[in-house]
Amino acid sequence: MAIAELKEALILLKRMPLLWIPGIIGGFLAAALWVIFNLSGTFFASRLLVISGLVLLIFTTGMLVIIRNDEGDIRAMLAGSVKYYLRVLLPQLVIIFGVMVIVILAMITFGLVGATADISMVTALSIGFMIPSVILTLFFDTAAVFEDRRVFESLQRSIQLVFTHINDVIAFLFVCAVIFFGIIFSLMVVWEAFLFDKLDPITRYNETQLQAFTSDQFIALIGPEGMWITAVIIFAGLFLLIPLFYSYKACFFKKLAQGVVITQQPTTGDYDSKGRYYKY
């Protein structure tokens, strides 16, 4: 099932070049953040990261609207993103807040029993709660756009689809992982080919030098030329990954949604002598 939807997504991207716009925007924003991080440090980059995410969400939401309608232009993409922006943003905030609350409660519990919560344990705990949360709510944005659902309805719909089609979802995630690592590995080979001369000294480092090697030393090693080459590689990666992933997820959601439909159970009842209706 997962392979058929991947082929459908590739055909969709070929037929509708407009769907590549979120990849262009996402790649440009990520490359810009990398350059700003190298030139100005984490202060500005960390603040622009949130803004960049909100901007990118405009285009990914509009992309889902275009896929749902199977047609449209840039104006339709922006209009659709305005209509569904909050319906896609708010569930993300609910998920993030929920994970944070669980982690905080777990840390408080550790404190009450006398255990010390160090950074490594908090990180592992956060990842442990984040992974199942992301998987269960993977299709909340497609549910919000394709089925016009509100915040908690889209989360509920995603969880229902994942539980109902868990084997298909695992296959979908496996294909996504193969695509992700395939693209990243290919780009890393290209990146290393361009920076081979600058990275060659690292191959002669001993174990002690490698352990003491810092990110600042790495940035100084590749220099300004390496910084710009890395920015281009980052742009290329997101340019490919964002349109492919969202198109694939949209096509996969449409197939899943055909088999699971939430229906309201009919109710029966009767009226009493005063005209009041009672369900039973």
What residue spans define the domains of the chain?
A: 2-257
Tens-digit pLDDT profile for residues 71-96: 888 899 999 999 999 999 999 999 88
Fill in the amino acid letter for 130.
M
The model's pTM = 0.84
Sign, CA torsion 248/145/26/103: negative
Fill in the amino acid letter for 235.
F
pLDDT confidence of 264, banded at 50, 70, 90?
Answer: very low
Q: Where are the alpha helices (DSSP H) in 70-205?
A: 74-112, 119-136, 140-146, 151-164, 166-194, 196-199
Tens-digit pLDDT profile for residues 107-126: 777 777 766 666 777 777 77
Asked if 66 contacts 76 with a C-beta cutoff of 8 angstroms, the reply is: yes
For residues 226, 228, 233, 236, the Cα torsion angle rounded to the nearest 10 degrees is -170
Token code pair at residue 170: 């695992």
Tens-digit pLDDT profile for residues 8-42: 999 999 999 999 999 999 999 999 999 998 888 78
